[in-house]
Amino acid sequence: MNDKISSAVSVPELETYFSEDYLYFGDVVNPPETSDRDVGVIWNLLHLSQGCSVLDLGCGYGRITNRLAEKGARLVGLDISPILLKKAEADAVERGVNVEYVLGDMRSLSWRDRFDAAFLWYTTFGYFDDADNERVLREAAASLRQGGRLLIEYENRFAFLRERSPFYVVQCNDDLRIDIESNDVLSDRRNIERIFVRDGCVRRAHLSFRQYGFSEFVRMLRSVGFKTVEAYGQEGDAFTSDSSSLVVVARK
């Protein structure tokens, strides 16, 4: 067995994956209308309102964070990639919103009892081993006030196995991003080998994340202090085996 493929992702691998190449293809993969729709789902499922304090864990280049700020929430975005955070900050300036962006690791948060809500969107959970993944949830719970809500959007592995091709190609101008995906049945991890063909150069990156089902989320979230855990589909509708994503909402 290839240990690199089946093991948790390291911080250097995350920084390599979430690079300027990742940013370059961002609007092709998630065009503005997709981001607007995502923001609507998050706003509704977390029952947000103007003035709510919200933490975006794994905020990336701020495509969700800044839009939520435009709706009147008070946002803090945390990410491990300086390149993506720089873009997020620039976009916040362009939109005229005030967002606090923090470079950091979601396994170690400095905030306690501060936020009304927190979320991890676009499968930003599961990169680490089981102990550290549960640590992310524990830290998120600690950052929330009593009654606070946590939302996690995650790929539905049932739909993926049935419908998704192991090869996924994105084109931007004359440049290509090629994803080769596989599932490790012994470690329950999804592995992505990403190839960038851009400006006459070829670069590679690797990502792996643990595949959890809803019952596993319930166990983990209850163990770190959440009282209720609910499941939804990508649009905030009922979750089924056909849903493209599993959206978990937990209340502290």
User: With helix as H, strand as E and coil as C, how does 97-120 read?
Assistant: CCCEEEECCCCCCCCCCCEEEEEE
CATH topology of domain 3-251: Rossmann fold (3.40.50)
What percent of the chain stands above pLDDT 90? 90
What pLDDT score was predicted for residue 193?
A: 97
What pLDDT score was predicted for residue 157?
A: 84
Strand, coil or helix: 194: strand
* Strand 167-172 with 201-210, pairing: unpaired
- Rounded to whole angstroms, the Cα distance separating 142 from 130 reads 18
What pLDDT score was predicted for residue 6?
A: 44
At 205, list the tokens.
């990156």
The per-residue pLDDT for range 29-55, each reduced to its tens digit, is: 999 999 999 999 999 999 999 999 999
* More confidently predicted of 242 and 219: 219
pLDDT band at 164; cut points 50, 70, 90 = low
Q: Among 216, 215, 157, 152, which Cα is nearest to 182's?
A: 157
Using the Cα atoms of residue 44, residue 47, residue 51 and residue 52 in order, give the sign of their dihedral. Answer: negative
pTM of the model: 0.95
The per-residue pLDDT for range 170-218, each reduced to its tens digit, is: 999 999 999 999 989 899 999 999 999 999 999 999 999 999 999 999 9
The per-residue pLDDT for range 89-134, each reduced to its tens digit, is: 999 999 999 999 999 999 999 999 999 999 999 999 999 999 999 9
CB atoms inside a 10 Å sphere around CB 27: 14
* Strand 100-103 with 74-79, pairing: parallel
What pLDDT score was predicted for residue 158?
A: 83
8 A C-beta contact, residue 76 and residue 100 = yes
pLDDT band at 5; cut points 50, 70, 90 = very low
What pLDDT score was predicted for residue 7?
A: 64
Average pLDDT over every residue of 148-163: 86
Query: Where are the chain's structural domains?
Result: 3-251
pLDDT at residue 27 is higher than 50: yes
